[in-house]
Amino acid sequence: MKLGLFSESYYPSVDGVSKFIQDFKEVLTLDGFEVYVYTSIPGPKEDRVKRISSLPFPLYEQYWLSYFWIDKFIEHAKKDKIDVVHIQTPFFSGIGGIAYARNNGIPIVGTFHSNLRDMASAIGNSPAVVAVAEVVNEYSALVYNNCDIVTVPTRSMLEFMRNSGLKTKTEIIPPGLNLKKYENFKTNINLREYLKIPEEAKIILYLGRITIDKGVYLLLNSFEKVRRRVKDVYLIYAGTGPEIKRLRFEVIKRNLSEVVRVLGYVSEDLKASLLKEAYLQVLPSRGDTFGLVLAEGMAFGKVVIASNKGGMKDWVKDGETGLIFNMDEENGLEEKIEYALMEDLTQMGENAKKWVLQNLDIKVITKKFEEIYERLKVT
């Protein structure tokens, strides 16, 4: 079967969608599928990956959009004779995939990855931005209504999409992880020596895009308060995004350079080293539909802290596999961080690792999608 994955996010973009598609594509290929990726992200040449001409989105520099080249997505899919279309994003790539499928009687699967309304807070919280974000979410629902089936990662996100106008058939399927690389992980990187962090110090890790909606400043504020009472604790930000320069400026302005590191983009090897060495991983995001980076930390047996917004609260069980803080409480995150630093939560980390191993193996997740493809292809 020839499968077409249509997405605005793919390698070398560094986010959860890109990571999932790469791992997903690898397993599908091993299972005998002929997988093609159609994306607007510029990058290196790769077999069966078609990179369509695009321009950067001015308000969110990480993403590129094929504003004027929808026909190219259709043209490539037609040339490759795609049997099933699977859209990952609702913009120009997704429209191209849907147009090709509808013109050729091809089944369409859609996967909802991103809460665009809450991501818009990375641009601003003005009434105009909020209004546009609501329209974009309704637009997303309209696009996904063209699919034969739509998958969402959590029940919260299903309710969100239903409220935005999604009417088509749905299934809840979380993203998956390639868990092999977490087994007996070894590295030559001496992380503490590299970052000049004492052996006895505890490391709090933020891993992800450096944007407002991810809560990077909320984390910095909370850390600044916690370290007044808890000594020998460091904070590391790993990732890139539109707020990275301002974040670095804030660290210097607050005289936190000795205990806060803003690394920017990190390699997979360094990322895994950070996850292994971290004492605690925090993702104070307002709108993550799932928060796959937290699952990576949990695969290493780490205690994680997530917000009560978005989809993370559906699978990070407070007090069992991680900690959930209330974003509407002024000191919510601060209190959870301090609690995690002062208590022995080893068992919670072990519970988290066990849950990830049982529920998020990319091979198991991929099988669920393969069953959908086969079912749609038959009908």
Q: Which pLDDT tens digit goes with each residue over 161-172? A: 999 999 999 999
Q: What is the CATH number of the domain that holds 133?
A: 3.40.50.2000
Q: What pLDDT shows up at residue 61?
A: 65
Domain match, 203 and 131 both? no
What's the farthest any 2 CA atoms get from each other in the chain? Answer: 64
Q: What pLDDT shows up at residue 121?
A: 52
Band (pLDDT 50/70/90 cuts) for residue 60 is low
The domain of 145 spans 2-176+361-378
Q: Phi/psi of residue 184, each to 5°?
A: 50, 45
Domain match, 123 and 147 both? yes
pTM: 0.89
Domain match, 189 and 268 both? yes
Q: What pLDDT shows up at residue 116?
A: 63
CA–CA dist 49, 63 (Å, integer): 17
Domain match, 162 and 269 both? no
Does pLDDT of 119 surpass 60?
no
Domain match, 91 and 199 both? no
Band (pLDDT 50/70/90 cuts) for residue 195 is very high
For the residues 136-142, what does the mean pLDDT come to?
A: 86
Domain match, 115 and 185 both? no
Does pLDDT of 356 surpass 90?
yes
Domain match, 46 and 136 both? yes
Domain match, 77 and 102 both? yes
Domain match, 72 and 138 both? yes
Does pLDDT of 363 surpass 60?
yes
Domain match, 240 and 367 both? no
Q: What is the pLDDT of residues 256-306, one digit of tens each?
A: 999 999 999 998 889 989 999 999 999 999 888 899 999 999 999 999 999
Domain match, 327 and 208 both? yes
Residue 305's DSSP bridge partners are: 282, 323
Domain match, 190 and 329 both? yes
Question: Are β-strands 280-283 and 260-262 bridged in parallel, bridged antiparallel, or unpaired?
Answer: unpaired
* Rounded (10°) CA dihedral 205, 299, 348, 225: 10
Q: What is the pLDDT of residues 331-346, one digit of tens each?
A: 999 999 999 999 999 9
Our count of domains for the chain comes to 2
Quote the mean pLDDT of the chain: 92
Q: What pLDDT shows up at residue 246?
A: 97
